[in-house]
Structures are given as C-alpha cells and as structure tokens.
C-alpha cells in the first residue's frame, strides 16, 4: 500500500470522527446510551403516535405532541337532538365512531358533519387517553392540568352535582384543557386529540371559532324492522339533560343510562361493529387527518426531569404510571410546552416517524426471525449457527468493510442520524435523535456479535446460548407492536381486532393479548360478559358503577 493514499485515509477518518458524530455520541458512548430504558419507550411512543394498535397495548400514554388538523377535514358529532351544541364538545374523525356512541341509545340520532376551513392547531395526548379508566390512561392529562395524578375516578353520584361522576369529570377535564389553550394566547390551540376506540377531538370553541363550518345536520336514525318497531317520539332512555349541560351531545361514552343498543333498536350491535371496523383502519397506519409537529414532541419519559419514570424496566403497558411525578417537574414540563408553542425554535423538518418506521422495516422482521432461529440452541447447532450468520450478514452488510468489525458499530448505529446538523434540531428532536441512535445501536451490537461470532468459530453450543440470551433480551427491550398481529388473512366479514375500550372493552385482557380475526358476532357475545380491559380495571360505558352492561 502506498504511503500517501494511506495517510489521506487516516486524515479523512479523523476528520469524519471529529466533525460528523452527533452531540449525543460525543458525550457518551452508544453502548452507554442504549442502557437507558427510556430510549426504547421514547422510540416506541414516537412510532406508535396516532396508531391504534400500539396505543391500545400501551394504554397509559406518556407523550404530549403539538399538531395540526388540516383544512377541509370532515369531523362528526352525533347527538340525540338537532339543536345547537355547547361551546366545548367532542367530535370524531370517523362518522362510525360518533354514531357508535350515540346511535344505539334509542330514540332519534342526529349527525352533525363539520369541515375545517383552515389548518387547526391541536395538542395530542398519546395512549388511550380518552378511556375512562383508573389504571393510568388519564395520568398524563391529570399531571398536565393539576400537577399530580387523580388516582381514583369519581363514581356515579360522587362527582360535582351528583351527575355521573366519571363523565362529569370528563367535561371538567375538557374545559380545563381548553382554558389552558385559550390562556396560551398566540399558541392558537383549538382542540385536543385523544384515542379510545378510534380518534376523537375535544373542540374548544363551537361558539366563536372561525375554523369550522357546518356541512349537514341529518337525522340518521336507523329504520326499525318489522319486528322491532320504534316509537320515534318516545326514546327509551331517560330524558336527556337540558341543552348545554354536560352529556347532552356527542360527549364521552356513557352519558345516557339506557346502555348501548337501546330497546327497540334494530340491528342490535351494528353500531358497535361499525365503530370497531373504523378503529381498525388506524391500527398500523397512523391517523392521517392529524399531522404531528415532531419538533414539539414532549414526553414524561424525558430523563431530564428527576421525578419522571425514565428507568422503567417493565414493558410499556399499564404498569407505567405517573403517580410519583412531583409538582415542580410537572409545572416545568407544562411551562416548556407552552413556551415551545409560542416560540420559533429550531426545527429540522425531518419526519421522525418515517425514521422510526424505516428502522422497524429494516430490522423488525430480522430480529424476530433470529429469535426463532435461536429458539432451541441445543440441537443442530452447526446448522443454526450458519443460518444466524447468514441472517445477520444481511443486516450488517452495509456497515462492515472487508469483514472487519472496526468502525462497523459506529456506522450502523448512526446510519439514520449522522449527518443531521445538531444546530438544526429542537430540544425535543435531540431527545428523538438520541432514542433512535440508542435503539439502532443496540440492534446493531446484537447483530454484529452474532455475525462476527460466527466468522470466528462458526458457533459453538455455548456461543449459541449466549446469542439466544442476547436476542431474547433485545426483543423484550424493544417490545415492538409489529410483532403483534393476526396470523393469516381475515375473511372479508372479519377485521383484525384487539380489545379496545369501550366498545370491545368487555373482552378479558388475559385471553386477548394478541390481535385476532373477529366478525360482528363478537359485539353481541361480549355484551353479555363483565368487561375487563387490557389496562386492567372494570367498568364501562352505559352501565352501572360495577361495570355491568344493562
């Protein structure tokens, strides 16, 4: 090898290492970064944002994100009368969701369809943040509004005015969120997007906002069958509250005591089934009618706040709570969000969800396949080692030069972030970048260990056991929702579904830990069972405080 080309290579490598390594990698090694459980949780929260499936399996949301509902987006509000609606109310992005909540309660159902007339700025709470449960689904909103977690939802008769406590508190919560948005001033936040079985939005001002117009107001009551005639003038539920009072319109589920599928209603269960169908549209593809501003992605997994639970070791499920968050930390995050919404912070414009999806696309199938290959490390060791070597070669091939490990870890871990100028990132993007680097870095290390282990001695049984342990730990640490799916293709009269609050909340979470193909019979069958939700806890819409369906 000639001396001059060799010196040029050395100089170029030195310049690259000093000028192109992101700030996060200068301060701590990739292996150190990957030890933080928070990075995995932040990554999955980023990827799962506005997706039904990951937020159903991880119902206790920890992230708050700014966003926009684009102009000319249809929104739906179902109610039991054609009258004007209160200032603060709920709208759904799918008509099936709105109708599903109100259409099965007996009597007439009116569907108000609106369209946004301009881009509408909103705030997103991830997880099942519209599920009225005591297991943590409302933690992030409680901490954001009050600085602490309200550990127990009020039961019927215990809320203000004795009016169905859980639901009354929903309106209090909505009004508080909208009051905060109104006091923000130039932030111009007009709504709050949340999820249960589908995505909804709290619209903060139906009285004065110029961001919407009424498209139609239709009586969409289902026709009665010959054997199920309905008295259109005599609804079977108790008289609704007076106009403008909480629970009069679309509202959160459960604001009428008659229960879903009121007496005399034809096609019992149809409202719930179509609601389920619409929710499954957003299982793996994100809700496209909400555009998140990922430069303003805030999370309670942020290790910068001492009391935030950034060192959790359990899967991202209902065991994640915010009960120990201190008021000073809660106030600091709230102030940070408000300041960010009002300021012109740096913003790279990078679609970080696309980056997360790229990572899952490239590595998700390989990680799971490698786990299957190594599942029984005691038999056919030579064949399994060869298969593991081949599989990992395909993953690390772009980063390994001349079959040498030197530099491969760095190239692999920084493949998605290396050339992003640090000065172009908002503080929240720095958190996302660090999470991506940590997740990719740990995947790369696991794959490189297997690949070079195979090259060195073609894999002994002891080495296979070590590989298996490393891959199993990686799968547990990542806990990606893409590994939860219906096996095979569902029939045309079926959808791939999971237990979702409230409409499929009656399924026992212990028997429903994976999606399954179901048809419309699941709604009527489930209605006769005591509800239990994936996040734990009983209770449900349209029923008494013990959770029994009427």
**Rounded mean pLDDT of 197-216?**
95
* Cβ within 8 Å of residue 537, ≥6 positions away: 133, 134, 135
pLDDT (mean) for 317-338: 91
Tell me what pLDDT residue 459 has.
Answer: 74
The lowest-confidence range among 74-78, 83-87, 152-156, 220-224 is 152-156
Q: Is 203 helix (H, G, I), strand (E, B) or coil?
A: strand
DSSP 311: T
- Cβ contact 439:34 at 8 Å: yes
Compute the distance between CA of residue 265 and CA of residue 228 in angstroms, rounded to an integer. Answer: 7
Predicted pLDDT of residue 525: 55
CA-nearest of 427, 204, 181 to 302 is 427
Of 504, 498, 500, 496, residue with least CA distance to 529: 504
The pLDDT of residue 376: 82
- pLDDT tier, 200 (very low <50, low <70, confident <90, very high otherwise): very high
- State residue 74 phi and psi, 5-degree precision: -80, 140
| Separation between Cα atoms, residue 242 and residue 48, nearest integer Å | 39
Res 266: pLDDT: 54
Mean pLDDT of 400-405: 92
Identify the band that residue 163 occupies on the pLDDT scale cut at 50, 70 and 90: very low
CB atoms closer than 10 angstroms to residue 47: 22
- 2: phi then psi, degrees, rounded to nearest 5: -70, 145
Give CA separation, 24 vs 33, 345, 399, 424, 456, in Å.
Answer: 9, 19, 20, 14, 32
Kindly write down the DSSP assignment for every residue of 210-264, as one continuous string: SSEEEEEEEE-PPPPPTTS---TTS-SSPPPPPTTSTTSSS-STT-STT-SS-TT
**Is pLDDT above 60 for 367?**
yes
Residue with the two structure tokens 């966003």:
67
Q: Strand 189-196 vs strand 120-125: parallel, antiparallel, or unpaired?
A: parallel
Instruction: With CA atoms as reference, report the closest residue to 265 among 220, 226, 229.
Output: 229
Distances 540 to 198, 239, 276, 389, 498 between C-alpha atoms, Å? 16, 21, 16, 50, 16
Q: pTM for this one?
A: 0.82
Strand partners, 217: 112
pLDDT tens profile 449-467:
999 999 988 878 888 999 9
Residue 47 CA to its chain's centroid (Å): 8
């Amino acid at each position: 090898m000639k001396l001059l080309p060799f010196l040029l290579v050395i100089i170029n490598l030195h310049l690259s290492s000093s000028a192109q390594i992101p700030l996060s990698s200068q301060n701590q090694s990739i292996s150190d970064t990957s030890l933080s459980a928070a990075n995995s949780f932040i990554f999955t929260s980023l990827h799962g944002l506005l997706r039904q499936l990951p937020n159903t399996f991880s119902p206790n949301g920890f992230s708050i994100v700014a966003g926009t509902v684009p102009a000319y987006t249809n929104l739906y509000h179902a109610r039991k009368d054609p009258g004007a609606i209160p200032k603060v109310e709920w709208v759904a992005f799918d008509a099936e969701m709105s109708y599903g909540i109100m259409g099965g309660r007996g009597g007439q159902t009116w569907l108000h369809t609106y369209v946004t007339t301009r881009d509408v700025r909103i705030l997103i709470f991830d997880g099942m943040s519209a599920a009225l449960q005591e297991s943590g689904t409302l933690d992030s909103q409680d901490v954001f509004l009050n600085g602490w977690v309200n550990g127990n939802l009020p039961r019927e008769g215990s809320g203000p005015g004795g009016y169905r406590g859980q639901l009354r508190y929903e309106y209090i919560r909505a009004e508080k969120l909208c009051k905060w948005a109104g006091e923000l001033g130039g932030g111009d936040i007009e709504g709050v997007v949340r999820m249960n079985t589908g995505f909804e939005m709290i619209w903060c001002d139906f009285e004065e906002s110029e961001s919407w117009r009424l498209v139609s107001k239709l009586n969409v009551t289902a026709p009665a069958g010959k054997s199920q005639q309905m008295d259109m003038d005599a609804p079977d539920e108790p008289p609704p509250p007076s106009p403008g009072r909480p629970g009069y319109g679309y509202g959160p589920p459960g604001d009428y005591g008659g229960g879903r599928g009121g007496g005399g209603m034809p096609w019992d269960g149809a409202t719930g089934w179509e609601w389920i169908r619409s929710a499954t549209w957003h299982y793996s593809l994100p809700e496209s009618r909400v555009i998140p501003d990922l430069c303003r992605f805030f999370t309670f997994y942020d290790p910068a706040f001492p009391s935030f639970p950034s060192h959790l070791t359990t899967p991202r499920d209902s065991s994640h709570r915010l009960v120990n968050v201190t008021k000073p930390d809660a106030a600091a995050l709230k102030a940070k969000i408000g300041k960010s919404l009002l300021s012109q912070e740096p913003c790279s414009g990078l679609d970080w969800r696309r980056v997360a999806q790229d990572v899952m696309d490239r590595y998700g199938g390989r990680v799971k396949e490698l786990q299957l290959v190594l599942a029984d490390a005691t038999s056919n060791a030579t064949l399994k080692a060869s298969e593991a070597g081949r599989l990992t070669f395909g993953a690390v091939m772009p980063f390994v030069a001349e079959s040498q490990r030197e530099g491969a870890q760095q190239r692999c871990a920084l493949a998605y972030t290396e050339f992003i100028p640090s000065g172009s990132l908002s503080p929240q993007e720095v958190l996302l970048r660090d999470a991506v680097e940590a997740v990719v870095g740990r995947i790369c290390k696991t794959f490189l260990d297997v690949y070079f282990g195979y090259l060195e001695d073609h894999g002994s049984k002891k080495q296979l056991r070590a590989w298996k342990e490393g891959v199993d730990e990686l799968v547990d640490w990542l806990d990606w929702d893409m590994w939860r799916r219906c096996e095979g293709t569902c029939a045309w009269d079926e959808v791939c579904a999971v237990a979702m609050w409230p409409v499929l909340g009656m399924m026992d979470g212990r028997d429903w830990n994976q999606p399954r193909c179901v048809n419309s019979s699941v709604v009527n069958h489930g209605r006769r069972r005591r509800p239990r939700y994936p996040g734990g806890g009983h209770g449900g819409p349209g029923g008494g405080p013990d959770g029994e369906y009427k």
